[in-house]
Chain A
Amino acid sequence: MKTVAFLVTAGIGLAFSLSGAVGILRMPDLYSRIQCSSKTVTMGALPALIALVVGEGIDSGYASRALLIAVLLLVVNPTASHALARAAYKSGVPMWSGAVRDEVAGREDSQRRREQDCAGPE
């Protein structure tokens, strides 16, 4: 029973990690790749960590570190992806030619002006 649960969760994690890597390799656009890096890899890491908890037992030394890393990844991975996408958009990385719309395009000037107002002397 424990082996079946371990195999199922680890299989789900590995499948999502592999699909995330293939998505990073095959997507046409930086922003699509950031989407693959953020959501799919987090979804691939969490079931693998749960599989480690299931396999080693909840009261072992592995489970505490695995759950800590799971919480860390849940907090940290969207933040890093957001910062990366924002920096890439500001530095003018082009979108895919088949992209439908750019929601931030109208707000870019006002946003930049507001940041220049808020920016202190460096």
Chain B
Amino acid sequence: MSTSLYGVIALAETAIGLLLMVRLAIGPTISDRIVALNTLSTQAALAVLFFAAFADRTIYLDVALWLASFSYLGAIVWARYLERGLL
């Protein structure tokens, strides 16, 4: 297994973020942007995972774990803000 293959996959997962950034820019309602942001966070977690395999450092994997769990927290916060407002 060549490590450059991992780099190519990390690159592709990041390039998907460009499409999501377009939806983040033009989203007609506020919820469209939340959907794009949540998906962008998931793609960033996948890119960090494959970049960790590409760079051969195990310690980068924890960042992916934090990204995956904190994207959930962000989505819950935004949903609560939409539903009744914070505070």
In the complex, the answer to whether B31 meets A76 with C-beta atoms within 8 Å is: no
A-B contact count (CB 8 A): 135
In the complex, the answer to whether A87 meets B13 with C-beta atoms within 8 Å is: no
Which residue from A7, A24, A51, A65 sits with its C-beta under 8 Å from B35?
A: A24
Q: In the bound complex, what is the Cα–Cα distance between A61 and B52 (angstroms)?
A: 11
Closest-by-CB residue of A relative to B67 is A69
- The A-contacting residues of B in range 28-87, CB under 8 angstroms, are 29, 31-32, 34-36, 38-39, 42-43, 45-46, 49-50, 52-53, 58, 61-62, 64-65, 68-69, 71-72, 75-76, 78-80, 82-83
Q: In the bound complex, what is the Cα–Cα distance between A23 and B31 (angstroms)?
A: 15
Which residue from A24, A48, A56 sits with its C-beta under 8 Å from B20?
A: A24
- The interface residues of chain B, by DSSP majority, are classed as helix
Closest-by-CB residue of A relative to B28 is A30
In the complex, the answer to whether B1 meets A84 with C-beta atoms within 8 Å is: no
Report B-chain residues with C-beta under 8 Å of the C-beta of A90. 82-83
Q: Which residues of A contact B (CB under 8 A)?
A: 2-3, 6-7, 10, 14, 17-18, 20-22, 24-25, 30, 33-34, 37, 41, 45, 48-49, 51-52, 55-56, 61-62, 65-66, 68-69, 72-73, 76-77, 79-81, 83-84, 86-88, 90-91, 93
8 cross-chain CB contacts under 8 A: A2-B1, A6-B5, A30-B32, A55-B1, A73-B42, A76-B68, A84-B79, A86-B83
Q: Which residues of B contact A (CB under 8 A)?
A: 1, 5-6, 9, 12-13, 16, 19-20, 22-23, 29, 31-32, 34-36, 38-39, 42-43, 45-46, 49-50, 52-53, 58, 61-62, 64-65, 68-69, 71-72, 75-76, 78-80, 82-83
